[in-house]
Amino acid sequence: MKPQPGSERIFVDASTDPLDGRVRWAPAKSLWLGGMTAVAIVLGPLLFTWSAFALFIVTSAITLCFGHSVGMHRRLIHASFDCPLWLERLCVYLGTLVGMAGPYGMVRLHDFRDWAQRQTACHDYSCHRAGFWRDAWWQLHCTLVLKHPPEFRLERRLADDRFYAFVERTWMWQQLPWAILFLAIGSWSWLVWGICVRVAVCVTGHWLIGHYSHRKGGQTWIIEGVAAQGYNVGIAGLISMGESWHNNHHAYPGSAKLGLLPGQIDLGWWLIKAFEAAGLASNIKTPDNLAPRPGSRRVDEPGTADAVAPRHRGSALFQ
């Protein structure tokens, strides 16, 4: 097997096929999110208090921004900046609390989907091509089982990390200490809103961003010859911590900055810049110091692929 371009963790051979597969119900995944959502729908309104709602907002913002966007996505998956190991682990732990998967699971899910979308064709599951409700069922309660999948090999730095291995084994249970704390401080309303409502909303919201950012929205760049394009979902720029600038991310997947154009709010980028100001982030990757993704071209420049806005490199466009 040989590594797939664009990912050092995905290895393919002549038989590897991103199309030949079946979507199957994933019991643990489905029961986890289904249980959280059921509690949120039934008990959330009954136990609503303003303090519980404030807890939901604050804990959602912290776990999504520090955790998922900066820790899991920009640092662990793409290595788009360097930081001390303790800070990386803290952010990744907070990302686990979002409730989607552990650190290894998140890397695997991302890399398999990214690999599939980079092919000339892929299964509807991998690029959110199914209709709204079918895609919701597939993404939130099922998994894609390919007949000839690629091989996933986690790099040794992560595979040998005992902290990450522990969090991976116990990622669902990591909610328990916080549930006990919230129950002790704010009774059942804090537990339901700080755990169940937060997990249900954040995980469902993550799917919604993924669904729409692969179907329609603004485009500045197109990637030639791939199965899926990314789109910018501007209305969600703030609440997604910058993750909804997905067209930008497809053009520059290694960039720590996702909101590349003026007016594109990117709270994750602001956090990384705060880390840098505090001396905690370095070697930050942006379009100013990254090569363009192969096959990329600006929508308003229909000429040569692989030339992603070269005239803007180092200009105010990416500041």
Q: Which pLDDT tens digit goes with each residue over 27-42?
A: 999 999 999 999 999 9
Distance between CA 13 and CA 181 in Å, rounded?
49
- Tell me: the pLDDT tens digits for 246-290? 999 999 999 999 999 999 999 999 999 999 999 999 999 999 999
User: Domain map of the chain by residue range?
Assistant: 2-318
Distance between CA 65 and CA 72 in Å, rounded?
10
Torsion of CA 92, 95, 99, 104, to 10 degrees: -40
Q: Which two tokens stand for residue 313?
A: 């490199």
Torsion-angle region of residue 145: left (phi > 0), alpha (psi -120 to 50) or beta? beta
> Percent of the chain beyond pLDDT 70?
92
Provide mean pLDDT across the span 44-69: 98
At residue 134, what is the residue type?
R
Provide mean pLDDT across the span 145-169: 97
CB 33 within 8 A of CB 40: no
- What is the CA angle 66-71-74, rounded to 5? 115
CB 134 within 8 A of CB 241: no
Q: How many CA atoms lie within 13 A of 124 on its CB side?
A: 11
Q: What is this structure's pTM? A: 0.91
Q: Quickly state the pLDDT bin for 8 (edges 50, 70, 90).
A: confident
